[in-house]
Amino acid sequence: METLVPVLGDQLSLNLPSLAAADRERSVVLMAEVMREASYVGHHKQKIAFIFSAMRHFAIALRKAGWRVDYITLENPDNTGSLAGEVQRAAARHGCGRVLATKPGEWRVLEDMSGWGALTGCETVLLEDTRFLCPLDEFAAWAEGRKQLRMEYFYREMRRKTGLLMEGDEPAGGRWNFDAENRKPAEGSLFLPRPFRAVPDAVTKEVLALVAQRFAQNFGRLEGFAYGVTAQDAQAALEWFLREALPCFGDYQDAMLKGEAWLYHSVLSPYLNTGLLDPLEVCRRVEDEWRAGRVPLNSAEGYIRQIIGWREYVRGLYWLKMPGYTDENALAAHRPLPAFYWTGETDMLCLREAITQTRDTAYAHHIQRLMVTGNFAMLAGINPREVHEWYLAVYIDAFEWVEAPNTIGMSQFADGGLLGSKPYAAGGNYINRMSDYCGSCRYDVKQRTGRDACPLNALYWDFLVRNGEKLRGNPRLAQVFRTYGKMAEEAKRDLHRQASAFLKAL
Task: Provide DSSP, 134-194.
Answer: S-HHHHHHHHTT-SS--HHHHHHHHHHHH-TTEETTEEGGG-S--GGGS-PPP-TTS--PP
Residues 312-371 that bind ligand FAD (CB under 6 A): 314, 365-366, 369-370
Mark 438-457 with x for binding to ligand SF4 (rule: CB under 6 A) and - for no binding.
x--x-x-x--------x-x-
Residue 428 found at the interface with ligand SF4 (CB under 6 A): yes
CA nearest neighbour of 384 among 302, 324, 462, 297: 324
Pairing between β-strand 123-127 and β-strand 96-102 as defined by DSSP bridges: parallel
Among 33, 403, 415, 436, the residue binding ligand FAD under the rule CB under 6 A is 403
Rounded Cα distance between 421 and 409, Å, is 10
Residue 87 found at the interface with ligand SF4 (CB under 6 A): no
Rounded Cα distance between 368 and 431, Å, is 10
Q: How far is the CB of 428 from ligand SF4 (least distance, A)?
A: 4
Residue 33 found at the interface with ligand FAD (CB under 6 A): no
Q: How far is the CB of 454 from ligand SF4 (least distance, A)?
A: 3
Amino acid at 157: E
Neighbouring-strand partners of residue 3: 27, 98
Rounded Cα distance between 126 and 113, Å, is 8
Residues 195-254 that bind ligand SF4 (CB under 6 A): none
Residue 182 found at the interface with ligand FAD (CB under 6 A): no
Rounded Cα distance between 384 and 334, Å, is 8
Among ligand SF4, ligand FAD, none, the one that 284 touches (CB under a kind-dependent 5 to 8 A) is none
Residue 267 three-state SS: coil
Amino acid at 451: R
Using alpha carbons only, what angle is made at residue 225 by residues 224 and 230, rounded to the nearest 5 degrees? 150
- Sign (positive or negative) of CA dihedral 470, 474, 476, 479: positive
Among ligand FAD, ligand SF4, none, the one that 443 touches (CB under a kind-dependent 5 to 8 A) is ligand SF4
CA nearest neighbour of 84 among 56, 109, 51: 109
Among ligand SF4, ligand FAD, none, the one that 307 touches (CB under a kind-dependent 5 to 8 A) is ligand FAD
Among ligand SF4, ligand FAD, none, the one that 348 touches (CB under a kind-dependent 5 to 8 A) is ligand SF4
Rounded Cα distance between 116 and 121, Å, is 8
Residues 53-72 that bind ligand FAD (CB under 6 A): none
Among ligand FAD, ligand SF4, none, the one that 370 touches (CB under a kind-dependent 5 to 8 A) is ligand FAD
Residues 240-299 that bind ligand FAD (CB under 6 A): 265-269, 272-273
Number of Cβ within a 10 Å radius of residue 205? 12
Residue 99 three-state SS: strand
Residue 410 found at the interface with ligand SF4 (CB under 6 A): no
Among 4, 158, 348, 404, the residue binding ligand SF4 under the rule CB under 6 A is 348
Residue 378 found at the interface with ligand SF4 (CB under 6 A): no
Residue 311 found at the interface with ligand FAD (CB under 6 A): yes
Residue 350 found at the interface with ligand SF4 (CB under 6 A): yes
Q: How far is the CB of 94 from ligand FAD (least distance, A)?
A: 34
Burial of 64 (0-12, 13-18, 19+ CB in 10 A): exposed
Amino acid at 360: D
Q: Which CB atom, from 102 or from 358, has the smaller least distance to ligand FAD?
A: 358
CA nearest neighbour of 454 among 495, 411, 412, 483: 495
Rounded Cα distance between 53 and 59, Å, is 10
Q: How far is the CB of 466 from ligand SF4 (least distance, A)?
A: 20
Q: Which CB atom, from 269 or from 361, has the smaller least distance to ligand FAD?
A: 269
Q: Which CB atom, from 372 or from 396, has the smaller least distance to ligand SF4?
A: 372
Candidates 298-306, 437-445, 458-466, 474-482: pick the segment binding ligand SF4 (CB under 6 A).
Answer: 437-445
Q: Which CB atom, from 306 or from 429, has the smaller least distance to ligand FAD?
A: 306
Residue 28 three-state SS: strand
Q: Which CB atom, from 406 or from 432, has the smaller least distance to ligand FAD?
A: 406
| Residues 38 and 215 sit within 8 Å (Cβ to Cβ) | yes
**R_g of the chain, CA atoms, integer Å:** 24
Candidates 71-79, 178-186, 296-304, 346-354: pick the segment binding ligand SF4 (CB under 6 A).
Answer: 346-354
Among 397, 415, 436, 462, the residue binding ligand FAD under the rule CB under 6 A is 397
* Residue 356 DSSP symbol: H
Q: Which CB atom, from 51 or from 499, has the smaller least distance to ligand SF4?
A: 499
Q: How far is CA 129 from CA 134, 160, 161, 423, in A?
A: 10, 22, 18, 32
Residue 411 found at the interface with ligand FAD (CB under 6 A): yes
Task: List interacting residues with ligand FAD (CB under 6 A).
Answer: 265-269, 272-273, 303, 306-307, 310-311, 314, 365-366, 369-370, 374, 391, 395, 397-398, 402-403, 406-407, 410-411
Task: List interacting residues with ligand SF4 (CB under 6 A).
Answer: 348-350, 428, 431-432, 437-438, 441, 443, 445, 454, 456
